[in-house]
Structure 1
Amino acid sequence: MIDYFAANLWQMWALVAIVCLILELTNGDFFIMCFSIGAVCAAVSSALGLGFYGGLLVFAVCSVLCIFFVRPFALRYLHRNDDARVSNADALIGRIGRVSEPVEAGGYGRIAIDGDDWKAVSADGQAIPLNAKVKVIGRESIIITVETVD
């Protein structure tokens, strides 16, 4: 089996490239992608007849060059609007939901938004009936502030 891998070293590098691409999907910061590009370069060099240590050198050099030259460009190009992008609970502001448990006057209720149920309070302190449509206008910790929508 070792003879097979020695004769087909490019397949090992291709496998390393695929594994790195899969790992990059879990991360998304384009760091592991550089190792995938290095593994592709090593696979090509191994297919052209370069041995294991030569492929390892090509992998290391290409990966380091990619980290210093390709990664900053990719981050700058693909994450241009990250400052304007909201995430997690802040993304709820402006969304429309349905009252799943009536909001009591001056108290709390529950609002369903895309299958998630949130504790909510009325913006004006008025009661909101069951199944009413509401819009999220604010958030304090895990409690959202809503107002009715006509």
Structure 2
Amino acid sequence: MELFTEFSWVIWAALILLFIIVEVATVEFTFLMLAIGSVGGLLTSLFGGPFWLQILVAAVVSILLLFTVRPPLLRALKRGGDPALSNVEALLGLRGEVLLPITPDPGPRALGQVKLTNGETWTARMLAPDGTRTLVTGTTVVVTAIEGSTAVVVPAERTTP
């Protein structure tokens, strides 16, 4: 046990290094709190505290940090996200113009093509086509969903602002 007391600073330094390496890989602040707790154990070791006290100090400091400091840090980290929509979310609500007519018939003949305002051309089908007229070339539509590589559209006059 005397070996632990004499060289405990090496154990604490190794733990701090290990926790920091894992924290850099995960960026979730758990291992950062453990590293700071290990600093408490290291300081206790440098002031000559017994090994059991070093472990106790490291554990108490880590637990306090995990429950008091980590939650606000995580909120601050998540708050800085990019508010711009991307991928499918960016397409929902876009207007477009029918290039190839979209028929209300079920099946592969119901598919047409639309050119969206962002410049992309998509295969398209109508949402709930029962009783709806064929969407002819030039009709303005709005994207309501994306199903695979097909845009689900409705005529622009049917949408509510």
Q: Residue 12 of structure 2 contacts residue 39 of structure 2 at CA under 8 Å; is this kept in 1?
A: yes
Residue 108 of structure 2 corresponds to which residue in structure 1? none
> Which has the higher mean CA deviation after the structures are superposed, 4-13 or 51-60?
4-13
Moved over 4 A (4+): 2-5, 139-145
Q: Distance in 1 between matches of 2:26 and 2:66?
A: 15
Kindly provide the amino acid, as one letter, of the partner of residue 27 in structure 2. Answer: G
Q: Distance in 1 between matches of 2:10 and 2:149?
A: 53
% identity of equivalent residues? 28
Pairing 1:1-150 to 2, within 5 Å after superposition: 5-82=4-81, 84=83, 122-123=121-122, 140=146, 143=149
* 1:63 CA displacement: 0.5
Q: Matched residue pairs, number?
A: 108
Q: Distance in 2 between matches of 1:26 and 1:144?
A: 38
Q: Distance in 2 between matches of 1:142 and 1:26?
A: 33
Alpha-carbon distance change, 13 to 82 in structure 1, aligned in 2, over 3 angstroms: same
RMSD of the TM alignment (CA)? 3.6
Q: Distance in 1 between matches of 2:59 and 2:45?
A: 14
SS at match of 2:69: helix
Q: Which has the larger radius of gyration?
A: 2
Q: Distance in 2 between matches of 1:62 and 1:30?
A: 14
TM-score between the two structures when normalised by the length of structure 1:
0.54
Residues 2-61 of structure 1: per-residue CA shift (max 9 Å, x gap): 865531211211111111111112222211211111011111111111121001000110
